[in-house]
Structures are given as C-alpha cells and as structure tokens.
A and B are shown apart, each in its own frame.
Chain A
Amino acid sequence: DTAVSQTPKYLVTQMGNDKSIKCEQNLGHDTMYWYKQDSKKFLKIMFSYNNKELIINETVPNRFSPKSPDKAHLNLHINSLELGDSAVYFCASSPSGPNTEAFFGQGTRLTVV
C-alpha cells in the first residue's frame, strides 16, 4: 500500500494554464507538506498543514493555493502557470512534532512550456 501518493506523476502544460496536483496519505498523520525541488535538486518547503490548518506558508506566490479538505489530503492548485514553475513537487506527511520521520510521495514532475 502506498503511504503518500501524488497524482499525476508527470504534468506537461502550457504557460497561463491552471493545474492541480493531488496528494493523499493513508498513514493517519496530522501534518502534510508541499516541497518544491528545482533543477539543481534544491528542496524548499512551500506549505505545511496540521489537521487541515495552514501552519507554514513560505513566501510562495499567491498563484499557488493549497487546499486540505481533510487531514489525509493536501492538494496544490497553481494558477497562471509560468515557465519558472517547472520543477518536481513533493508531498510529504508526518505525525505532529519533530521526533518523526517525514514520508515523501514519489513527486510530480511539472513542465511548463
């Protein structure tokens, strides 16, 4: 059983479009995250939700809007896509607190053309 699953795995779209990436975890974790990995492999946190509540929003353009309908899901919607949004987006989840392992999804490779 997949612990953290993201869909789609690959997404190619044109500039200006709006797209969503879905994430679901079946681990019963309270906290979910979105990370962006750029072409140089740098990983940067974008958002964190705890029990459906936004905890972290790291200077991400407001074209990016996370939505957490329940604590097992954290979706990422991106409006007006730009070339610079091309990256791999990783969803992760963890139990609350620092002494915990964050489990990562397989990533969604977004290419904006």
Chain B
Amino acid sequence: GEDVEQSLFLSVREGDSSVINCTYTDSSSTYLYWYKQEPGAGLQLLTYIFSNMDMKQDQRLTVLLNKKDKHLSLRIADTQTGDSAIYFCAAFYNQGGKLIFGQGTELSVKP
C-alpha cells in the first residue's frame, strides 16, 4: 500500500540541530522529497533524494536515506526561529504516478 508516516511535533532550541524522521512503505519509490510549509503559505520544496543515494547535503540540510528500512530523515543544522514550520516528507509512487505525503512534522524553534 501507499503510506508515508512522520512524527507530528518536534521542539528544539535555536542553534541546535533538528532531525525529522519519516518512514514509507513502497520500496519502489524512486524519489523522496522534503517540503516546508510556513503558516498560511503553500508548500516549498526543500530538497529531494534519489533512491540510489544514501545521503544528500545542501547547506544546512542533510538528508539520509536507509532504503532497506524505508526510512528517511532530514537534519537541519544550526536551527533558527525562521525554520519553524511544518515539514512534509513525500514519496513518489511510480504505480499511479503520484506524490504521497506524510502527515507533516510541526517544528517549533525556541529562542
């Protein structure tokens, strides 16, 4: 089946690292994405990773993929108050050609 799961909340202090975790069910997913949604706004793509990669780094963002366990994580280094938002993990399911989203993790960054 098609399912993507995330924990719902994460609270960190400014300057700490944040790690948001995600699991997905369909091993045929070739691309996995992280989107950010700020209050009242649409979704903005942060980064994506192809299934034959283990890690991708982009400035303060590091994505780790464990394909065997179908586990994806997003690490934000030196988290800032401006990073407070909801972060969605999404998996592209080749069968049906659709992007399935997790429930979203609400990241709260405290000064």
Contact = CB atoms under 8 A, between A and B. Distances in A.
B97 A42 contact: no
Interface string A7-18: 000000000000
B77 to A, nearest CB: 23
Interface residue SS majority, chain A: strand
A25 interface: no
A102 interface: yes
Interface magnitude class on chain A:
20 to 34
Contact of A98 (B35, B44, B94): B94
B45 A102 contact: yes
**Size class of the contact patch on chain B:** 20 to 34
A85 B43 CA distance: 21
B24 interface: no
Interface stretch (B10-18, B55-63, B66-74, B98-106): B98-106
Interface in B1-32: 30-31
A58 B96 CA distance: 10
A105 B98 contact: no
Contacts of B98: 33, 45, 48, 56, 58
Nearest to B94: A98
Contact of B86 (A41, A98, A106): A41
A106 B42 CA distance: 4
A98 B31 CA distance: 7
Interface centre among A41, A43, A55, A99 (most CB of B within 10 A): A43
A43 B42 contact: no
Contact of B104 (A42, A48, A92, A107): A42
B45 A43 contact: no
Interface in A50-84: 50, 55-56, 58
14 contacts: A4-B42, A35-B101, A41-B37, A41-B103, A42-B101, A42-B103, A45-B99, A48-B97, A90-B43, A98-B31, A98-B92, A104-B42, A104-B44, A106-B41
